[in-house]
Amino acid sequence: MAFWDEQIETLPREELATLQLKRLKNVIARARNSIFYRNRLADIDESQFTKPEDVVQLPFTTKHDLRLNYDFGLLTVPQEEIVRMHSSSGTTGKATVIFHTRRDIANWANLVARCIVMAGAEKRDVFQNIISYGMFTGGLGLHYGAESVGMLVIPSGVGNTKRQIQLMKDFKTTVFHATPSYILYVSEVMEEEGDDPREFDLRIGFVGAEPHSEQTRQKIEDIYDISAFNSYGMSELNGPGVAFECEEKSGMHFWEDQYLLEVVNPHTGEALGPGEEGELVVTTLCREAMPIIRYRTGDLASIVDDGEPCACGRAHVRISRIKGRTDDMLIVRGVNLYPSQIEDVLMSFPEVATNYQLYLERKGTLDELTVKVELYPKMFTGDLRMLRKLENDILKAIQDEIMVRPRVEFHEPGSLPRTEGKAVRVVDLRKEN
């Protein structure tokens, strides 16, 4: 088993806590160099902190704070010290921007390199980075990490799917990085072109940036005959490289030497324990240009609580898959649900292909949920009885899961809308009425 930074990855938990406390104090002091935190932290005396958990004495930082303090309000260094800017991919409201010093970029590349090596990829691999470059952090984030490891990096970005496939063939790509929805689309194009995705040289895939179920991961692994690893991050916390799966795949290791993690009740802000699902709240422990303290990520997950340290030997906690975002929650006929619950059900049916979308409408006073789902071509043989049975089975399984009876519509593969970046899973037309 390989490590990028064995000493820090396997640091005993007491030593990790000591390191976190020291870094937390430093980061508070540093944050005070920004206009925003100078006021926000005025009453805090961090010299009294005795353990990392004392972080709860600090106020939360929200996306709204970042927006209000656009552009340089959280910057702690003179502008000439910053070498890079990124932006979050939010589609509503003002953008939030994140700045990095040269050391921040090196640190981030190091973290991503940890993830890459943890998943079993190596210098000899050919790495195709099939994800958007630019303000989005997925492209450059993995790019720098992979170069640090010494892989041959093909910065192919997203789109031009036939060219992606050609590059994979010509340069014998062994590792890719993509959103789960786009890499599934790539496999459909391969099949249309008469290529068998299992026949390529691929062996490892990094998938992330959007919620996806365990079944979707398994689908990607089966289709490509690879091992796929879940990757979590967000622009406000650099981007990818925050948490990533090891070969045990029993949760994503959250790099606690760099990020202090809390899980809180999203409504009350109260601390939750291991195994309890809540909102991830994160403090950057090493960032120079723009430290963020107790950031309300909006992402819902839990700390894995299986009572065992991970068999890979890494000491850093593991988090579950991200269930969704606090703002993704749908209320349908008074019932709260997350799109990921429906994905879990859909992807457990082998007849279901790779794409789906949820449509919400209001008929009179009643919400109507339509689950549009693509089936594999073999299902469209004209055997209506078979389709009706499948429809009933899916309906029932969804209803059991979410307590709302949807409509289910079947579509041919490739017929529902696609995006090259993050998939749009929900079309909510109720707001327009």
* CA distance between the termini of the chain: 56
Separation in Å, CA 26 to CA 33, 109, 287: 12, 22, 10
Closer Cβ to ligand DLL, 205 or 413, answer by number = 205
Residues 301-340 that bind ligand DLL (CB under 6 A): 322, 325
Q: Which stretch binds ligand DLL (CB under 6 A): 40-48, 192-200, 229-237, 257-265?
A: 229-237
Q: Which of 119, 86, 85, 81 is nearest to 2 (CA)?
A: 119
Residue 243 and residue 375: Cα distance in Å, rounded? Answer: 32
The residue within the footprint of ligand DLL, chosen from 145, 197, 205, 239 (CB under 6 A), is 239
Using the rule CB under 6 A, is 156 a contact of ligand DLL?
Answer: no
Q: Which of 241, 232, 207 is nearest to 322 (CA)?
A: 232
Using the rule CB under 6 A, is 210 a contact of ligand DLL?
Answer: yes
Using the rule CB under 6 A, is 215 a contact of ligand DLL?
Answer: no
Using the rule CB under 6 A, is 5 a contact of ligand DLL?
Answer: no
Q: Which stretch binds ligand DLL (CB under 6 A): 49-57, 224-232, 365-373, 391-399?
A: 224-232
With H, G, I as helix, E, B as strand and everything else as coil, classify residue 347. Answer: coil
Q: Which stretch binds ligand DLL (CB under 6 A): 2-10, 152-160, 206-214, 378-386?
A: 206-214
Residue 204 — φ and ψ, nearest 5°? -140, 140
Using the rule CB under 6 A, is 187 a contact of ligand DLL?
Answer: no
The residue within the footprint of ligand DLL, chosen from 37, 232, 295, 356 (CB under 6 A), is 232
Closer Cβ to ligand DLL, 28 or 146, answer by number = 146
Using the rule CB under 6 A, is 211 a contact of ligand DLL?
Answer: yes
Closer Cβ to ligand DLL, 266 or 413, answer by number = 266
Using the rule CB under 6 A, is 299 a contact of ligand DLL?
Answer: yes
> In terms of C-beta density within 10 A (0-12 exposed, 13-18 middle, 19 or more buried), how is residue 267 classed?
exposed
DSSP codes, 185-232: HHHHHHHHTT--GGGSS--EEEEESS---HHHHHHHHHHHTSEEEEEE
Q: Output the smallest distance, CB 9 to ligand DLL, in A.
A: 19
Q: β-strands 366-375, 352-363: how paired?
A: antiparallel
- Contact present, 257 and 234 (Cβ < 8 Å): no
The residue within the footprint of ligand DLL, chosen from 235, 283, 354, 357 (CB under 6 A), is 235
Q: β-strands 324-325, 82-87: how paired?
A: unpaired
The residue within the footprint of ligand DLL, chosen from 34, 61, 76, 88 (CB under 6 A), is 88
Residue 224 and residue 203: Cα distance in Å, rounded? Answer: 8
Using the rule CB under 6 A, is 138 a contact of ligand DLL?
Answer: yes
Residue 19 and residue 25: Cα distance in Å, rounded? Answer: 10
Q: Output the smallest distance, CB 89 to ligand DLL, in A.
A: 3
The residue within the footprint of ligand DLL, chosen from 130, 209, 264, 310 (CB under 6 A), is 209
**Which residues sit at the interface with ligand DLL, rule CB under 6 A?**
88-89, 136-138, 208-211, 230-235, 239-240, 297, 299, 322, 325
